[in-house]
């Protein structure tokens, strides 16, 4: 027997995580979980001297990683059969950064196949289930990370976000999700959809822990020491058009409660519209991702030497993903002219719209509901009911998150409440570019005002 020191504390914590994992297999949150590996890594960390431990800001903190981010100690399948069980030669740089600071890689999480969707209903690995209600989606494409954190399997994890793939599942599972300013993190070593739009991001239960991981991932460029503003000095823009035209009645009710609480806390809410956002976003969104994926994905596969594009597409298991990628192989490919226009004209115009919005109205952030509706049932892949109408599932869930992604601005989703049916609802803050630390400060203040939501019934 050892003395009951820090060593035993970490090992005991990891044993508890493993035991909890065994009781949560029904969530299907992981594609790879290796208890023996985790115990061995924890023992290595625990054996360090006290001085060495003190030098590691993330000592012993377990984190999970979406399965499209390269890890050399575990397979990185991106949720697709052609890469199942295949392990890259090296870690994504973001993973190395966290490991160097003492964090503990606790497993790879299930996701929407190839990150091309928002339900995480994966035909190859099975659907990720929402811890609040197991017949509902966890959201996507980072569904497994969100479900694992919401269920209390880990406090923090990594995902990727192209049009909302961190913020949507975070909102639907009742946790915090953060998409940084484009370029803040090193995004190499990730199976790509679009180099213009993809970024690694963070999900967590506690914003303080998320901020600690952000600091490590952002590294030396972190110069913008955020000024902490008291609530009565904050100005938040609240657009109505586009973002809040069509909301599920439970989400609409939650939105009114959020605004009332923030107003009670003396925060200034500025009713101000984001001009022309629907048209600009449409001109940017699909032209960029559908063009770049056909450049970026083959290059990534070639560099790894594990699969080629034709073979990968032939084996795709999820019908929605297969249909998109097959269409791009032939006549349906995105014309280069549409892509050039998106990159050279429409995206800069969208970014300018955001910049002007914050400047003109002197705003610290913009406030929108993260998704127009709570989690739908697993299997509602094509259409979903919203305000009594059947509407496209994908477009409806990304509606409020997509424009921000396309502009490359930082965004943070916070738990805002539960629907009458007991499903989480999220609210999103968007900040000016490179105001990431400020955004996290504002988020921490809003959590104090809005409070927390009850954990899932399973936990």
Task: Mark residue 266 as left, alpha or beta (left: phi above 0; alpha: psi -120 to 50; beta: remaining).
Answer: left
Integer Cα distance of 413 and 142 in angstroms: 14
Integer Cα distance of 128 and 143 in angstroms: 6
Q: Is 202 helix (H, G, I), strand (E, B) or coil?
A: strand
Residue 333 annotated as catalytic: no
Residue 285 annotated as catalytic: no
Which of 76, 77, 165, 285 is the catalytic position? Answer: 165
End-to-end CA distance of the chain: 31
CB under 8 A, 24+ apart: contacts of 72-75: 73/37, 73/105, 74/32, 74/34, 74/37, 74/105, 74/107, 74/108, 75/31, 75/32, 75/108
Q: Is 187 exposed, middle or buried (0-12, 13-18, 19+ CB in 10 A)?
A: buried
Q: Is 251 exposed, middle or buried (0-12, 13-18, 19+ CB in 10 A)?
A: buried
Integer Cα distance of 59 and 103 in angstroms: 6
Which of 76, 141, 318, 405 is the catalytic position? Answer: 141
Residue 233 annotated as catalytic: no
Residue 409: CA atoms inside 13 Å, Cβ hemisphere, count? Answer: 29
* Catalytic residue ranges: 66, 141, 165
């Amino acid at each position: 027997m050892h003395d009951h020191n820090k060593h035993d504390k970490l090992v005991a914590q990891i044993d508890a995580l493993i035991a909890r994992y065994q009781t949560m297999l029904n969530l299907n949150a992981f594609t790879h979980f290796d208890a023996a590996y985790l115990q061995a890594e924890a023992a290595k960390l625990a054996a360090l001297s006290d001085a060495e431990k003190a030098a590691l800001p993330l000592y012993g903190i377990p984190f999970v990683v979406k399965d499209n981010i390269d890890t050399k100690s575990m397979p990185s399948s991106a949720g697709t059969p052609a890469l199942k069980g295949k392990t890259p030669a090296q870690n994504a740089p973001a993973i190395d950064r966290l490991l160097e600071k003492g964090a503990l890689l606790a497993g790879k999480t299930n996701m929407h196949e190839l990150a091309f969707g928002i339900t995480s209903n994966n035909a190859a690995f099975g659907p990720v289930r929402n811890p609040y209600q197991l017949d509902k989606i966890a959201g996507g494409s980072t569904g497994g990370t969100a479900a694992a954190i919401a269920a209390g399997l880990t406090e923090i994890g990594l995902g990727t976000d192209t049009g909302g793939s961190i913020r949507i599942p975070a909102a639907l599972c009742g946790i915090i999700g953060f998409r940084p300013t484009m370029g803040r993190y090193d995004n190499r070593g990730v199976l790509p959809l679009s180099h213009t739009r993809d970024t690694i991001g963070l999900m967590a239960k506690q914003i303080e822990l998320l901020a600690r991981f952000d600091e490590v991932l952002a590294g030396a460029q972190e110069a913008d020491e955020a000024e902490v503003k008291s609530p009565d000095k904050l100005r938040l823009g609240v657009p109505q058009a586009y973002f809040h035209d069509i909301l599920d009645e439970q989400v609409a009710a939650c939105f009114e409660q959020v605004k009332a609480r923030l107003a009670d806390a003396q925060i200034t809410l500025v009713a101000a519209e984001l001009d022309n956002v629907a048209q600009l976003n449409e001109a940017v969104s699909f032209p960029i991702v559908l063009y770049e994926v056909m450049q970026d994905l083959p290059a990534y596969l070639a560099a790894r030497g594990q699969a080629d594009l034709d073979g990968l597409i032939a084996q795709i298991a999820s019908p929605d993903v297969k249909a998109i990628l097959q269409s791009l192989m032939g006549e349906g490919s995105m014309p280069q002219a549409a892509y050039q226009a998106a990159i050279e004209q429409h995206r800069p115009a969208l970014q300018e719209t955001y910049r002007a919005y914050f400047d003109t109205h002197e705003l610290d952030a913009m406030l929108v509901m993260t998704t127009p509706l709570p989690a739908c049932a697993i299997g509602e892949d094509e259409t979903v009911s919203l305000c009594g109408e059947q509407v496209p599932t994908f477009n409806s869930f990304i509606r409020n998150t997509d424009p921000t992604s396309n502009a490359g601005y930082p965004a943070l989703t916070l738990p805002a409440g539960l629907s009458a049916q007991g499903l989480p609802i999220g609210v999103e803050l968007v900040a000016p570019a490179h105001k990431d630390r400020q955004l996290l400060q504002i988020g921490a203040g809003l959590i104090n005002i809005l409070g927390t939501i009850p954990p899932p019934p399973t936990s």
